[in-house]
Structure 1
Amino acid sequence: MVREQSIDSFYARLRESATASSSTTPLLIFPSTSDVDSLCALKIIGHVLESDSVRYACYPVSTFKEIHKFAGPDSCSSPEEPVTILLINWGCHRDLGKVLGLGPCAKVFVVDSHRPIHLHNLSDQNDGVVVLYTRDDEDQADLAYDLRVPVSALANASDLNSDDEGGDDLESDDESESESEGEDDGGEGSQKRRRVSGESEKDPVKLFRKLKKEYYHMGTFHGKPSGCLMYDLSHSLRKNTNDLLWFACVALTDQFVHERLTNERYQAGVMELEQHINSSGNLDAATTVTLKDGTKVLAPDSSKIACEDEPKLMLLQEWNLFDSMLCSSYMATKLKTWSDNGMKKLMLLLARMGFALEDCRQKFQYMNVAIKRKMKDEFEEFLPEYGLTDFYYRGFCLLHGYSSRLSAADVVFGVTALLESFVESDGTCAAKQFGVAYDSLSLSKLEKLEIGMRQAIKVQRAILRQGSSAITKKGSIRSGSKFRWVKLEDSADTKLLGYPQALTKFGYFLMDALKEKGAKMKPLICICYTQERNKVLIVGVCGKPRLGADRGNAFGIAFRDAAEETGTDFFHELFESSWIVLDALAVNSFMIRLTEKLWITRRPPLRGYIRNSRRSEMVREVDLIVPPTENWDKYGTSAHGYSQVVGPPVPIDVDAVHDVLICTPGICTSMLLL
C-alpha cells in the first residue's frame, strides 16, 4: 500500500526504511528550492528525525535533473544497499519509478502539495514510491475530483508498464475517434456521438481511459501545504514546539501570498492553526531585558505567535506606510497608483485619515505611535469608499519581547526573494543561497531575513514599474481568444523579474489591474529574459483559485507540446509545469503553436452560417473548422491565425462565443454563431 492516508503511518514507514540501512546517511532528503513551504517542511521534519536519532543528509534541488547527481539510476537500482529518499514539495506529478530508475531496494517517500499526482505513484502495485495522500485531498480540495470513481481506484487500475507521462498516450485515440465521428453530418453525426459516448460508458477499458484523460487534463493546483502536514506529524508524535508551529503558519501563508489556494481553504487552515496556537501555552514566563538606554523591563524570553487582522500592505514593518500603500499589489491595482488620478486618490485618502505625509514617509518602525494606534480604525472607516472592502485578512505574526514584531507574510516575501537571488537560466539555485534562506527562518539570523525583505521591496517596485508600463502602453499586452500575453523587454527590471516566483507575481498584478479596468478575465502568459539574454522564462497564470472550480492551470501540457513542436531547445524540468525556459528566438513560433493547442477543445461543434462579404447573402450552413497548421498555406490564414475551406461542411471542435472572421483565397466571410 503506497497511498498513505495516515501521517503517523507514513512517518513510521519512513523511519523503518531509514533505520534498516547500515549506511552512514541512511536517509537522503531532497527539498525543493522553489518555495518557502518546502523550507518550513524541512525545518519541521528535520526536528522530528533528530529527536528520533535518524541520520540524514539534505541536498536542495531546483529541477528534476539535479537529483541524478546524488540519487540517479545507478544508486537507486543498486541491490547491495537499500536507499531511502524523501522528496519535499516536488516529484509527485511525474512517474518517479521511471524518472529515478528505482530498483527493488530503493524506497522513495513524497510529501508534496502539487496536484494532480501521477497515478503510477499512487498505485498499490508500485512498492517503491510512498506518497502522503490524505483523505482531505479528495474531500476538501480546491478542485473537485468529478471523476465518478475515487482517485485511488483509478490509480490501482493503471498499468505501471505503460509509457504514460501526463496522459499523452490518449491523444491519438481521442483524435481518431473524433475524426470517425465527424464523418457523419447533421443529426446522424450527433446521434453517433451520443451512441459512441454511451458505449464507452459500458466498456470498462474505454471508461478508464476517458477518466484517466480527464484526471490528467484537469490542470495543476495545490493541496494542503507540506509544512502544515509536517506540523500535524510533529503534533501527533508530541514533538511539536512553538517554533514548529510558527513554521506551519509561514507555510500556509506562503500558499496564500502566492495565490495557490482559495480564500475558503485559507480560512479553514487559519482556524486549524489558531486552535493549536490557543492550546499550546503560547504565553511564556517573563524575564528581565535591558533596553538600549539601560532601562530594565520585563519581557518574554521566547516568542509568542498571534493571529491578528493583517492589512494587505506588503512588508509594512520593513518599509514605510506611504510606499507600502503605493506599491502593494492590492492597493496599487485598486487605486491605480501609477496614474496621476490614482496618486491624487492616495494623497486624499491619507489627508482624510489625518496622516501627515512626513510621518507616512518615515520607516514604519519609527513612525508616529499615535498614527499606528488609530490606523486600523481609520482604514476601516475610509477605505470602503475607494472600493477597498477586503483590506484586512486573518494572518499570523511572531512577537518577540516588546519591540520585535514579525509578520508571516513578510517572512514569505523575504525568504522567497533570497531563494531567487541566485538562479541560473535553467532554474537551478545555488545550494549556498538555499542555506541562507534556511537560516533566515531562525530568529537568531534576522539580519539575513532583512536582506531578503529589502530585495523583495526592489522586486515589488519593478513589478509596479513594468505593470504600469504594460497597462498604459498600447500594444504591450497582446490578447487572443484564449489568453493574453506580455513580454518584458526592460533589461534593468528583467534582472529582478526573471525568476519564476517574481514573474508569477507580476502576472497576478497585471490580471488584477486588468480586472479593475473591466477587462474580461483570461489567463495570462508572461515572458521575460533570463540572466542569459538568449533564453526566456515563460510563466502561465490562470488567476486565483476558486472553490468548486473544475479546472486548474492547464498550461503545463500545452507548454511542453508547443515547445516540442518548435523543434528548439527548451527546459521544462522545473517543479511547476506552468514554468518553462525557451530559446529567445523561438518565442513567436512557440506562441503560434500554443495558441493552436489552447484553441482546440473537446467540445461539441458550434453551428453557424457563413455570410459572403461581397454579396451579403446566405451561402450555406456549416460547422466551424480549425484546420491543422500544415494546411494553413493551402487554405489561407485568417485574422485569428486559422482558416476555413469553402466546400462541404466538416464538423470540427472549436471554442468560441463571438463572431469569427474566416478568410479563404479571394473571399472574406464572417461566421455568425447560433
Structure 2
Amino acid sequence: MVRIENVESFYAKLRESATSTSSQNPLLIFPSSSDVDSICALKVITHILESDSIHYSCFPVSSFLEIHNYAPPALSSHSPLTILLINWGCHRDLKLVLKLGPAARVFVVDSHRPIHLHNLSDQNHQVLVLHTDDDERQADLAYDFDVLKLANESFHMHQESDGEDEDEDESDDGDRPSKRRKMNDDKLMKKLKRDYYKMGTFHGKPSGCLLFELSHLLRKNTNELLWLACVSLTDQFVHEKLTDERYRACVMELEQHINSSGNIDKIASVTLKDGTKVRAPDCSRISYEEEPRLMLLREWNLFDSMLCSSYIATKLKTWSDNGIKKLKLLLARMGFALVECQQKFPYMKDEVKRKMRQEFDRFLPEYGLNDFYYRSFLRLHGYSSRVSAADVVYGITALLESFIESGGSSASKQFGEAYDALSLNNLDKLRSGMQQAIKVQRAILRQGSAAITKTGCIRSGRKFRWVKVEDSIDAKYLGYPQALTKFCYFLMDALREKGARMKPMLCASASQQLGKILVVGVCGKPRLGAVRGNAFGNAFRKAAQESRADYFHELFESSWIVLDVSAVNSFMIRLTEKL
C-alpha cells in the first residue's frame, strides 16, 4: 500500500477504484456487526458515496469467514473488484486471508491496532488502510522504531521467501560477509516484528470520527453526521477502548465542530403576529455538557441507575446489604426522598433534577467518587426529547447483541435493527435497545455479586484471574462479546476496590452456539503512558492450538475466542504458559 497521509487521498483512491470503467461490480462494503462505531462509520461513508453517485452494496459481517458468503467469485479471480471493510480486517494479512485475485482492491477503515505489517507496506498495492499521521501521533501506544520501514522490509522478505528457495550450500565463499550482514539484518527485523506485535492490541481514532473528518473536508458534513461522530467517540469511551486523555482531546475537536455548525445559536422563543411569545422546539440540535456516570438515567430511575451503574456499584458495593444502606443514606443526605428517586426519571420533580449536580458534587467525594461527571454529548429534538450519546451507545450495542442463532435471528439482521435505531425517526427501536441494555446491566450486577461474594468463584492464577458465568439465565444476556467484556471490567473494578492486586481478567460464558463457550480477556483500561495493550490475542490462538481444541478465533477482536465446552480447562492451563 502507498502510505495514506490523509482521509481525502484515501477517499480519492477509493472513488477512483469504485468508478473504474473496467469494473462491472458495485463497491462492496462489509461493515463489522460487532460495534456501534461501525454503524456510524457506515452511515457517514454511504452519505458521501451517494452524494458522489457511487453504487454500492452492503453486507454486515461478524467474522472473517463470513465475507466469503457474500463476496463474488471475482474476489479471487482476475475481474476488477473494490471492497471496503469497516472496523475489521487491518490486523490480519488481508491479501492472504481473503485470497485476493490480482485485480481486487481492498480499502480498510478500522480502529483496531496494531495494523498487520503487510497491510502497511508500500509494495502491497491491493490493500489500503486509512492510517493518518494525526491518528498515529494521538495513539495510546507509541512505537520507538519506524513502523513503515519495518512494514516494507517484512513484506519484501515475505515475497522473497515465497518466490525463492534459497540453498545456502550453493553460495560462493565471497558472498559470506554480505550473507552474514543479511542474516543480522533479518534477525533485527524479526526482533522488531516480535516487539511490534507483542505490544498487544489497542484502538486508534474511531472510524466514525475519521470519516466525519472526510465529510467535513469534502464539505458534505451535516448535523446528522456530526452526531454520528459523537456517538462513535462515545462508543470507544463507554467500552474502555481509549484513555481519558485522548477522549477529552477528541471531545474538544467535536465541540469545535458543534460550535461552528450553528448548534449554539439556540432560538429559545418565537414571537407570533399578535405579540405572543411561545417556546420554540429544539430542531435536532447537538449540545455538549457534563454528564453523570449513571447508565441510562433518562430511561431508568435515579435509584436503580445508581444501584446498577458500574462506576457507583463497584465503589459502594451495592450488591451487598451494607452497600444498599450506603446508597440510601447518600440519597437521604442529599435530601432526595427514596420514593422520588424510584420514580421514572422523566416524572421526577424538576426541583430534584436541578439539585442533582450540586448535591452530587457536595457528597460524592466522601465516597471516593471524585470524577463522577464527564464531558458528553446530547441530541435535543422537539420539546422534550433529550438523548445522550452514551445512552445511544448502550441501546445500539444491546440491539447488536440481541440475536439468538437458534432462534431465527442473526447478527446481520440485528445490524439492520441497530442501523435503523440510530435514526431520530426510530426512537422506539432505540428505547427497546435501551431496555435490553438495562437487563444486561442487571445481569452484570447479579453475576458480579455472585462472583465476588462466593469463595472460589473467581480463580486466580499467577498471571490472570478467570471466572465462568454458570447461570444459564444470565448467560443469555452475557454470552456476547461486548456484554462479557463489560462484565470483565466490572469485576476488575470491584476487585480493585477490595484492595486486590490488579491482574488481567478472563470471563467465560455459554455462547449463543450450543455446546460452545465464549471467552474474552481484558488487561485493564487504557491509560496514559502504558507500554502494552491487550496481550491476549496471540496467546489465545497459541493456547487453543496447543490444547488441540476445536476453536473459533475469527471474531474481530483478537481477545475474543469461542471454544468447545470440554476444552476450557486445558485451554486455561496452556494460556498460563503463553502470557
Instruction: Return the offset for 1:237.
Output: 0.4
Q: 1:76: which partner in 2?
A: 75
SS in 1 for 2:200: coil
Instruction: Return the offset for 1:284.
Output: 6.8
Instruction: Return the offset for 1:22.
Output: 6.1
The answer to whether structure 1 residue 460 and structure 2 residue 441 are counterparts is: yes
Q: 2:171: which partner in 1?
A: none
What is the aligned residue count? 553
Q: 1:670: which partner in 2?
A: none
CA distance, structure 2, for counterparts of residue 137 and residue 473 of structure 1: 44
Task: Write out aligned runs for 1:512-591 (5 A).
Answer: 512-591=493-572
Q: 1:203: which partner in 2?
A: 184
Q: 2:241: which partner in 1?
A: 260
Task: Write out aligned runs for 1:647-666 (5 A).
Answer: none
Instruction: Return the offset for 1:509.
Output: 0.2
Across the aligned residues of Structure 1 and Structure 2, the Cα RMSD in angstroms comes to 2.1
The answer to whether structure 1 residue 365 and structure 2 residue 346 are counterparts is: yes
Q: 2:41: which partner in 1?
A: 41
CA contact (8 A) 2:282 2:380 kept: no
Task: Write out aligned runs for 1:379-398 (5 A).
Answer: 379-398=360-379
CA distance, structure 2, for counterparts of residue 103 and residue 485 of structure 1: 43
The answer to whether structure 1 residue 305 and structure 2 residue 286 are counterparts is: yes
Give, as a single letter, the amino acid of the residue that structure 1 aligns with 2:129: V
CA distance, structure 2, for counterparts of residue 478 and residue 77 of structure 1: 47
CA distance, structure 2, for counterparts of residue 556 and residue 21 of structure 1: 41
Task: Write out aligned runs for 1:324-473 (5 A).
Answer: 324-424=305-405, 429-473=410-454
CA contact (8 A) 2:264 2:287 kept: no
Give, as a single letter, the amino acid of the residue that structure 1 aligns with 2:224: D
CA distance, structure 1, for counterparts of residue 332 and residue 183 of structure 2: 69
CA distance, structure 1, for counterparts of residue 410 and residue 257 of structure 2: 34
Q: 565-574 vs 35-44, which deviates more?
A: 565-574
CA distance, structure 2, for counterparts of residue 270 and residue 230 of structure 1: 16
Q: 2:151: which partner in 1?
A: 155
Greater RCO, 1 or 2 (C-alpha within 8 Å, sep 6+):
2
CA distance, structure 1, for counterparts of residue 131 and residue 213 of structure 2: 13
Unmatched tracts of structure 1, length 5 or more:
165-198, 290-294, 599-674
Give, as a single letter, the amino acid of the residue that structure 2 aligns with 1:144: A
SS in 1 for 2:141: coil
Give, as a single letter, the amino acid of the residue that structure 1 aligns with 2:155: D
The answer to whether structure 1 residue 98 and structure 2 residue 79 are counterparts is: no
CA contact (8 A) 1:144 1:548 kept: no
Instruction: Return the offset for 1:138.
Output: 3.0
Q: 2:578: which partner in 1?
A: 597
CA distance, structure 1, for counterparts of residue 449 and residue 268 of structure 2: 50
CA contact (8 A) 1:143 1:548 kept: yes
Cα distance, 1:331–1:10 mapped onto 2, change above 3 Å = same
Instruction: Return the offset for 1:364.
Output: 0.3
CA contact (8 A) 1:24 1:55 kept: no
Instruction: Return the offset for 1:423.
Output: 5.0
CA contact (8 A) 1:285 1:300 kept: no
Q: 1:269: which partner in 2?
A: 250
Give, as a single letter, the amino acid of the residue that structure 1 aligns with 2:66: E
TM-score, structure 1 as length reference: 0.79
Cα distance, 1:43–1:296 mapped onto 2, change above 3 Å = farther
The answer to whether structure 1 residue 241 and structure 2 residue 222 are counterparts is: yes
CA distance, structure 2, for counterparts of residue 499 and residue 76 of structure 1: 30
CA contact (8 A) 2:25 2:81 kept: no
Superposed CA offset, 1:441-496 (max 9, x none): 00000000000000000000000000011000000001011000001110110011
SS in 2 for 1:304: strand
Cα distance, 1:37–1:200 mapped onto 2, change above 3 Å = farther
Cα distance, 1:94–1:160 mapped onto 2, change above 3 Å = farther
Give, as a single letter, the amino acid of the residue that structure 1 aligns with 2:74: S
CA distance, structure 2, for counterparts of residue 37 and residue 562 of structure 1: 30
SS in 1 for 2:155: coil
Name the % identity.
72
Give, as a single letter, the amino acid of the residue that structure 1 aligns with 2:500: A
CA contact (8 A) 2:549 2:571 kept: no
Instruction: Return the offset for 1:568.
Output: 2.2
SS in 1 for 2:297: coil
SS in 2 for 1:313: coil
CA distance, structure 1, for counterparts of residue 518 and residue 277 of structure 2: 54
The answer to whether structure 1 residue 494 and structure 2 residue 475 are counterparts is: yes
Superposed CA offset, 1:284-320 (max 9, x none): 786999xxxxx99442462111110000000000000
Q: 1:16: which partner in 2?
A: 16
CA distance, structure 1, for counterparts of residue 102 and residue 277 of structure 2: 63
The answer to whether structure 1 residue 322 and structure 2 residue 308 are counterparts is: no
The answer to whether structure 1 residue 227 and structure 2 residue 227 are counterparts is: no
Give, as a single letter, the amino acid of the residue that structure 1 aligns with 2:540: F
Unmatched tracts of structure 2, length 5 or more:
161-179, 271-275
Give, as a single letter, the amino acid of the residue that structure 2 aligns with 1:390: D
Q: 1:6: which partner in 2?
A: 6
CA contact (8 A) 2:469 2:475 kept: yes
Give, as a single letter, the amino acid of the residue that structure 1 aligns with 2:75: C
- Greater fraction of residues in helix: 2
Cα distance, 1:78–1:296 mapped onto 2, change above 3 Å = farther
CA distance, structure 1, for counterparts of residue 107 and residue 87 of structure 2: 11
CA distance, structure 2, for counterparts of residue 456 and residue 568 of structure 1: 33
CA distance, structure 2, for counterparts of residue 344 and residue 235 of structure 1: 51
SS in 2 for 1:526: strand
SS in 2 for 1:540: strand
Give, as a single letter, the amino acid of the residue that structure 2 aligns with 1:156: N
Q: 1:144: which partner in 2?
A: 142
Cα distance, 1:490–1:4 mapped onto 2, change above 3 Å = same
CA contact (8 A) 1:144 1:549 kept: no
Give, as a single letter, the amino acid of the residue that structure 1 aligns with 2:138: Q
Give, as a single letter, the amino acid of the residue that structure 2 aligns with 1:211: L
Instruction: Return the offset for 1:82.
Output: 1.3
Give, as a single letter, the amino acid of the residue that structure 2 aligns with 1:241: T
Cα distance, 1:471–1:256 mapped onto 2, change above 3 Å = same
Instruction: Return the offset for 1:236.
Output: 0.3
Give, as a single letter, the amino acid of the residue that structure 1 aligns with 2:117: L
Give, as a single letter, the amino acid of the residue that structure 1 aligns with 2:141: L
CA contact (8 A) 1:62 1:429 kept: no
CA contact (8 A) 2:87 2:110 kept: yes
Instruction: Return the offset for 1:204.
Output: 2.1
Instruction: Return the offset for 1:155.
Output: 0.6
SS in 1 for 2:158: coil
